[in-house]
C-alpha cells in the first residue's frame, strides 16, 4: 500500500469529492436542458441521478471533514468511522434515487407517456458517458490509493453512472429509430444500475461499522511485519478493524520468557512502530506480550529430568 501522510490523505479525498460536485453540477444543467428540449425521459432520469450525486458528494465532504479531526479525550480511536457512516448514507440515498427513477419509468410505460427523443438528448447522453468515465477513473485511483470507504463509494457511484449512461445512449438511439418505448425502458435500466450500486455501497460501509475483519492478505502482512521484528518468536491472534480509511490493530506476540519486562516492552514498541510505518494506514496498534510456548515446554522438561 502506498504510504500517504494523514493530512495529504484527506486533501486527496476532498479533491475527489469536489470534482464530483462540480462535474455533476455541470451535467445536471446539460441533461435537464437536453432531456426537456429533446423529449427524453431517460436523459431527465439521468439528470435526477446527477442531482442526487451532488447531495451525496456534499455528504461525503462533510464526513471527511469530521473524520480528519484528531483524536481527543472522547474519541481516542479517531473519528474515522464517520467516513463509513457517510458512505452508508450515500448508499441509502442512491438506492432511493434508483427506486424513484424506476417508478417514473414504469409509470410512463404503463400510461404510454413516451415520445421519440431529439438528437440533443443523444448528444447529452454521450457527453455524460465520457464525463462520468473520467470522473470514475480519477476518483477510483484516489480511493484505492487511500483505501477510503467514502471515496471508493463515490467511485462506485460514478461507475454505476457510466453504465447507466451507456443504457441511456442505447435506449435513446433505439427510440430515435422508431421505438420510443425504449427511452422509458432505458430509464428503468438506469434505475437498476443505480439501486445495485447503492446496495453494495451501503453493505460495504455496514461491514466496516460492525468491525468486520479486513481481507486475509492484510492480516497476513501484519503478521509477517510483527514476526520480522527482532525478539518476536511468533505472532498470533491478529485482529484489525477499520476506522474509515485507517486501521486499528491488535496483535499478540510471543517472546523469550526469560527476558525482563522492560525488554518485552521495548519489543512491543518496535512491533507497533514497524506495523505503523510499513502498513501506511494503521493509526494505532495494541501489542500484548506473551512467553513463547516452546520455551516454556523446554524449561518445564528441564526441571523434571
Could you count the other beta carbons within 10 Å of the beta carbon of residue 40?
34
pLDDT attached to residue 227:
92
Dist. CA 299–CA 45, nearest whole Å: 74
* Residue that is written with C-alpha cell 481527543 in the block: 72
Dist. CA 149–CA 90, nearest whole Å: 11
228-236: list long-range contacts, CB under 8 Å, 24+ apart: 228/274, 229/253, 229/267, 229/270, 229/271, 229/274, 230/267, 230/270, 231/255, 231/256, 231/259, 231/263, 231/266, 231/267, 231/270, 232/267, 232/271, 233/292, 233/294, 233/295, 234/292, 235/271
Dist. CA 186–CA 292, nearest whole Å: 64
The answer to whether 266 and 302 have CB atoms below 8 angstroms apart is no
Cell representation of residue 280 = 501506511
How far CA 135 is from CA of 15, 16, 114, 138, in Å, comes to: 12, 8, 31, 5
CA quadruple 256, 260, 266, 268: dihedral sign: positive
Dist. CA 130–CA 97, nearest whole Å: 22
- Domain 6-209 and domain 216-304, same fold? Reply is no
pLDDT attached to residue 302:
42
Cβ neighbours for 292, distance < 8 A, ≥ 6 positions apart: 233, 234, 254, 255, 256, 257
Q: Please indicate, yes or no, whether the overall pTM of this predicted structure exceeds 0.95.
A: no
Q: What burial letters (b/e) apply to 256-266, b meaning 16+ CB within 10 Å?
A: ebeeeeeebee
Q: What share of the chain is helix, strand, coil (3-state, %, to 5)?
A: 70, 10, 20
Dump pLDDT digits (tens) for 132-180. Answer: 999 999 999 988 887 777 788 788 888 878 887 888 888 888 888 888 8
How far CA 43 is from CA of 32, 84, 136, 155, 176, in Å, comes to: 7, 31, 19, 21, 13
User: Which stretches of the chain drop beneath a pLDDT of 50?
Assistant: 1-3, 300-305
The answer to whether 198 and 91 have CB atoms below 8 angstroms apart is yes
pLDDT attached to residue 303:
40
pLDDT attached to residue 296:
53
How far is Cα of residue 77 from the mean position of the Cα atoms in its chain?
20
Dump pLDDT digits (tens) for 81-91. Answer: 887 888 888 88
CATH number given to 216-304: 3.30.70.1350
> What is the CATH T-level fold of the domain 6-209, as seen in this structure?
Alpha-lytic protease prodomain-like (1.20.1510)
Domain ranges of the chain: 6-209, 216-304
Amino acid at each position: 500500500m502506498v504510504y500517504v501522510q494523514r493530512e495529504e490523505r484527506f486533501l486527496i479525498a476532498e479533491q475527489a469529492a469536489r470534482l464530483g460536485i462540480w462535474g455533476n453540477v455541470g451535467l445536471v444543467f446539460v441533461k435537464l436542458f437536453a432531456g426537456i428540449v429533446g423529449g427524453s425521459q431517460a436523459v431527465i432520469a439521468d439528470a435526477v441521478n446527477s442531482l442526487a450525486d451532488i447531495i451525496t458528494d456534499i455528504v461525503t465532504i462533510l464526513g471527511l471533514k469530521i473524520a480528519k479531526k484528531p483524536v481527543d479525550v472522547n474519541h481516542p480511536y479517531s473519528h474515522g468511522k464517520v467516513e463509513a457512516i457517510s458512505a452508508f448514507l450515500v448508499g441509502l440515498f442512491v438506492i432511493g434515487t434508483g427506486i424513484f427513477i424506476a417508478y417514473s419509468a414504469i409509470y410512463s410505460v404503463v400510461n404510454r407517456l413516451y415520445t421519440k427523443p431529439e438528437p440533443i438528448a443523444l448528444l447529452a447522453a454521450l457527453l455524460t458517458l465520457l464525463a462520468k468515465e473520467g470522473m470514475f477513473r480519477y476518483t477510483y485511483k484516489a480511493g484505492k490509493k487511500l483505501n477510503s470507504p467514502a471515496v471508493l463509494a463515490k467511485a462506485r457511484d460514478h461507475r454505476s453512472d457510466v453504465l447507466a449512461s451507456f443504457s441511456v445512449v442505447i435506449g435513446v438511439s433505439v427510440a430515435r429509430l422508431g421505438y420510443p418505448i425504449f427511452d422509458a425502458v432505458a430509464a428503468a435500466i438506469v434505475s437498476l444500475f443505480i439501486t445495485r450500486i447503492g446496495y453494495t455501497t451501503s453493505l460495504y460501509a455496514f461491514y466496516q461499522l460492525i468491525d468486520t475483519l479486513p481481507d486475509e492478505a492484510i492480516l497476513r502482512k501484519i503478521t509477517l511485519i510483527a514476526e520480522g521484528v527482532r525478539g518476536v518468536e511468533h505472532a498470533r491472534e491478529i485482529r484489525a478493524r477499520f476506522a474509515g480509511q485507517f486501521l486499528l490493530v491488535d496483535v499478540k506476540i510471543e517472546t523469550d520468557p526469560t527476558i525482563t519486562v522492560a525488554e518485552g516492552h521495548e519489543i512491543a514498541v518496535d512491533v507497533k512502530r514497524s506495523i505503523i510505518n510499513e502498513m501506511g494506514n494503521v493509526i494505532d496498534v495494541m501489542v500484548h506480550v506473551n512467553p513463547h510456548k516452546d520455551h516454556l515446554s523446554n524449561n518445564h522438561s528441564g526441571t523434571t529430568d
